[in-house]
Structure 1
């Protein structure tokens, strides 16, 4: 069965009132979370699920505010965090606590065998999709695949330490995710917002 989701347009942040939009939060999570790395605008778009025009516009604003630095290499515009900004540490910590789960989980799951998909669901995904509600106290993650549970438990612990939040990982066999008559658990996840960890796409 094909996954059927609707893509969510960039919206005002429901994770924190201190960030202009979810697009900005996602861009800052990648850049402030990896201050030693440079990113092309296309790479930021791929990693955040944000459209090219929005990435271009918001990066321009962040560069103007000296939150990010940029330079040109050939036809590419490269951007990176500006660690000399007087509020860098405060901004980095705020973004890590709100938009940090996607880049942190992507890094931890990169190259792991037995993983077909990784999705965040539950209250964090709902806030990321624009639903109002209290700040999420934990991060619920669904792994579609057959990675060992011991490995996933260790990853949940490491992610929780890095995010300073409880990370709960559930594993589901690929056939159980694709089945036409899903279990109540799968049906609920399919009917609610999820965030694809590898692409950064928000589905609702």
Structure 2
């Protein structure tokens, strides 16, 4: 006899996430669950997004890592509220963790919360965190074959950010093949090529996000 422990875990998670979503809806807070591999540029993308939108929206960040508070401190140095979650080894964030983190934020004053999930292309896709949308970041050095190897994360994402496009001359990255693979998995997802540390392409991504935030306000 096989015992499926995954479904009860997901059911409990989804109930907490649904309650959290209802709470956030009352305050018109838009939430992104940002998914990516380690080193893809999640934090640099968050900082570039903050630069593009901070004059218009009140933003907070929830940082998920196995250990340390390095990224949360970077966000705080930017003058943005940040809450660090250390999973202690778990490969993803869960709704109960996000609920506790949000209790530490003044959501009545917020328009946008960015969740930086644990660097992983598999586990985080299964867990609803009460977010409005999941967004995937892939960096050019990771290779154009990631949609073929990790289809689930691309299918779960409402938008895809291709980061570090300034490094493309140094890597054998087939942009056409990448775009086609993403579109085959998720035809509705826009792809935003950016170089987060230089600010290249960030305006188009920020404009898309701006429209999503305004839609719930």
- Give me the TM-score of the superposition, normalised by structure 1: 0.32
- Give me the TM-score of the superposition, normalised by structure 2: 0.30
